Amino acid sequence: MQRLLFGGVYGTVLASALAAALDHDGGPEAPGYDAVWVLLAALASAAAHGYAHTIARQTAERTGVTASTARSVPAEWPLLGAVLPTVAALLGAYAGWWDEGAAIDVALALNTLALFGWGYWAARVAGRGRGAACRVGGVDMLLGLFIIGANVLSK
């Protein structure tokens, strides 16, 4: 459960930051390329995180790196799953449903709501009441709002 919640929050923040950073400086939009880029960055992050767990475990338990890595990296699937709404929004722009700017706005809004959900769920799993869970979700949601604010200010 802990890995699911961690990967969900981490992947959602990663996807939001990557989406907010997409800017073509007046050049042509490339939402298909950007969707692939977000997915590849998430894959690299998942692999790095799984490998870091392996190295930490190997140091503590003196186990083999190869077998442990083969188990740790696939366990990072929640991080990959969390970037899929952003990838889907960008692929929607690629399909012509909306422009890339709208796709980024949709992704940032969905991810901010997802952060609330991750925080709420984590608090409920920890045995907190609904009010406390809403407060935790609200704090998590601030991460998304921070990214949206930074995106607005930087452009």
pLDDT in tens, 14-31: 999 999 998 766 778 899
Q: Which residue has the higher pLDDT, 130 or 65?
A: 130
Going from the C-alpha of 132 to that of each of 39, 128, 146, the distances in angstroms are: 33, 6, 21
Q: Where are the domains of the chain?
A: 2-154
pLDDT in tens, 19-78: 999 876 677 889 999 999 999 999 999 988 888 777 777 665 565 666 666 667 778 889
